[in-house]
Amino acid sequence: MTATSGKRWSDIYPEVGTEPLAIDRLMSPDFYEFEREKIFRTCWLCVGEIIDLPEPGDFLIKDLPVCSTSILAVRGYDGAVHAFHNMCSHRGNKLAWERRGKCVGGTLTCKFHGWCYDTAGRLIAVPGQEKFFNLSLEDNGLTPVATEVWQNFIFINLSPRPRWTLREYLSGVAEDLDGFPFTRLPFAFAYRVDLKCNWKIAVDAQNEGYHAAFLHKRTIGDIFSSAQDPYVDPLDIKIYGLHQRASLPGYPPNSKPVREIANEFGKRWSMSRTDDKLGEAEPEDVRFANYESMPPGLNPTRAANWTFDIYMIFPNFWLGLSNGAYNTHQWWPMGYDRTIQEVRMHQLLPRTAGERFSWEYNKTINRDVWLEDFSTLEKTWEVLRSGAKHHFNLQDGEFMVRNFYRAVNEMADF
Ligand code: FES
Ligand SMILES: [Fe+2]
């Protein structure tokens, strides 16, 4: 179903509505406190990638100021990943301070007074234990957090009794993407920005293509926008409970000399045209040779002019999936008016000079595109708080923006 079919997404999903979107409440400091409790402490959150924890004893930490905690995720000797509040049971010191590390001898020791824990979170040694008063090691392990893994992604849930299992929470996303080579595509590069804006303003920028012809006119606008489809109407949209997916088209782009070379060796360029990437599978089996072999959730309409699909996993995890590469965006609120945005690209590393060129092109063009995306966010926030406007006017192609706020409101009011 495309714009040319004359359909509107709001007709297909009337429950999402067409009214102007009221923003006063959504952008207020009071509402942020609601979000912390009703969204971030209730929903499943992706805190890291399993490929970063290949061996027993490997750990990563994820600081979550929005939930007033830090999470420690450890690969246990049982092979499973366990997550805990990253906090010592003695006097509350943060246990691990480095972003990633390895438990020396299978243990983690608090830097303050040397209390020592194993990878299952058990307290195994307390210096001067005899001076304490009936201290039970058994009762003073690390505080566990609900943890589940989907594909490459480690999710945690801070609720003492999560409302859903992770699979229930994902509402069909896992089934639709079963077979996508998430764990076979290595980490390639990342960017991290500290933004002075509400986290939802930053989310919105990745949830519509209307801006491509304008904000991205110097970089990739011509790939996504064409005379017959200037505002990048999605090929398909699907709602999965709180989450959603859009499948995005692409068009024969203008000729640009550097891009031509990257295209020629285009297997390391995530936005090179789809048809360049069919017909020949990578030796590592990370690229689909034809549309029929793709999971149902990848290029769901099997369109010839498909470029990539975006999955917005509520509340703050975004996947961009193409044939042979994927990237993730995450937004971490640091307050109602400050957000850390993290972007990570996954693709095979280059094997030849040509692939290296294409890979470097991918790194720089994505950086430039994201810098363009980031450029409006602080400017928007700077004036949004004036209170001069009370709503956003959204067109049908900004369906995912509207639907994201529907999920925000639904969770906040629950
Ligand atoms: S706070 Fe950790 S050992 Fe004292
Ligand atoms: Fe953009």
- Answer yes or no: is 62 within a domain: yes
> What is the predicted pLDDT for the residue at 279?
64
- Answer yes or no: is 28 within a domain: no
Same domain as 179, residue 103? no
pLDDT band with cut points at 50, 70 and 90 for residue 414: confident
Same domain as 125, residue 183? no
- Answer yes or no: is 259 within a domain: yes
Same domain as 177, residue 155? no
CA 204/CA 392 separation, integer angstroms: 12
Range scoring the smallest mean pLDDT among 17-21, 286-290, 385-389 = 286-290
- Answer yes or no: is 123 within a domain: yes
pLDDT, tens only, 153-206: 999 999 999 999 999 999 999 999 999 999 999 999 999 999 999 999 999 999
Range scoring the smallest mean pLDDT among 44-53, 193-202, 265-274, 398-407 = 265-274
Ligand that lies nearest to the alpha carbon of residue 117, given by its number in the listed order: 1
In the structure, ligand 2 is a single-atom ion and the residues with CB under 5 Å from it are 373
- Answer yes or no: is 310 within a domain: yes
> What is the rounded average pLDDT for all residues in the chain?
93
CA 28/CA 44 separation, integer angstroms: 24
Residue at token pair 């192609």:
397
Q: What is the CATH number for 289?
A: 3.90.380.10
Same domain as 231, residue 129? no
**Residue 117 CB neighbours (<10 A):** 27
Same domain as 154, residue 81? yes
CA 334/CA 288 separation, integer angstroms: 39
pLDDT band with cut points at 50, 70 and 90 for residue 1: very low
The boundaries of the domain holding residue 397 are: 3-20+173-412
Same domain as 302, residue 348? yes
> What is the predicted pLDDT for the residue at 280?
67
CA dihedral 351, 355, 358, 359 (to 10 degrees): -10
- Answer yes or no: is 271 within a domain: yes
Same domain as 222, residue 252? yes
Higher pLDDT, 283 or 323: 323
Contact 97 CB / ligand 1 (< 6 Å): no
- Answer yes or no: is 26 within a domain: no
Same domain as 281, residue 193? yes
Same domain as 156, residue 238? no
Same domain as 349, residue 272? yes
Same domain as 227, residue 205? yes
Count: domains in the chain: 2
> Is 363 in contact with 189 (CB distance < 8 Å)?
yes
Final residue belonging to a domain, choices 117, 138, 161: 161
State in Å: Cα 135 to ligand 1 middle: 14
Ligand that lies nearest to the alpha carbon of residue 91, given by its number in the listed order: 1
Is a pLDDT exceeding 70 seen at residue 260? yes
CA 48/CA 19 separation, integer angstroms: 37
pLDDT band with cut points at 50, 70 and 90 for residue 3: very low
Contact 115 CB / ligand 1 (< 6 Å): yes
pTM of the complete model = 0.95
Same domain as 226, residue 189? yes
H or E element: which one contains 221? helix 221-224
Q: What is the CATH number for 106?
A: 2.102.10.10
